[in-house]
Structure 1
Amino acid sequence: MRRNEGADGEATPPGASRAAAGRVARAAWIAAGLVLVGLGIVGLVLPVMPGTVFLIAAAACFARGSPRLERWLLTHPRLGPTVVAWRRDGVIPLRAKMLAFAGMALSVVIVALSSAPPIALASTAALVAAGALYVGTRPSTPRR
């Protein structure tokens, strides 16, 4: 089979396989974004699961796969404001920070009360501390 021949021996137009790969990649970005929006909505309802981080990731996926879905997410009255605030100023609202800290503390407590080996508790505590440091150092209000 020559370079520009398909499996049936027919010549394929130059760039056809690249275009097909682009369509597959676009569909994958959209699918990932939709899954992340679903996780984000669940996270907004459940107190121990973060929602905003999934919505931020969904917006990034939509930016690569569907500008229309990205625009929908960013302009959504309930889901969009935190994503826009993050993109514009790196803001994590104070309420979200408090919920994140509570969820992180709960994670450490659960691991501490389980029969996990000490290395698991130390690893969990170190990762939670790093996450808490990152969240805590983000601004809580937009720059004026």
Structure 2
Amino acid sequence: TVGTPKERKATLYGWHKKSASHNTVTVRDTPEEGFQEIITGYEVLASNERHALLSVDLITGRTHQIRAHLAHIHTPILGDTKYGNMRENRACRCKHQLLWAYQLQLETDADSCLSNLNGLTVQTPPPPFMTKEFPKVQL
């Protein structure tokens, strides 16, 4: 992210509304008509003067939720041209979002057709941008 969240670990609660015509979302702190609840957990894994590496737990899954929710708390994803900090993106020569799923864990209901996959965890190695910016972080 650009900047570091105030709290090292937190669960964010908000309200989300998608604009289909603009392909963007708006996040609010309080419920409003047409908005749906969103819940996003995060933990700061590492940070420096300008950036932070977060582990994000997507509790609800709405369009652009991670990007919009983090931008709402003034720590947008580096490289995000829709919700991000364009000045910092240019300064870092970052032309794509530095958003990466290093681990997916499936949690299903017992009666789900996918219940046999409950608890399955899939991990990937860190991408090059992470190892350059935060080489000492162990995931």
Q: Which structure carries more strand by proportion? A: 2
What is the TM-score normalised by the length of structure 1? 0.28
| Rg comparison, structure with higher value | 1
Q: Which structure carries more helix by proportion? A: 1
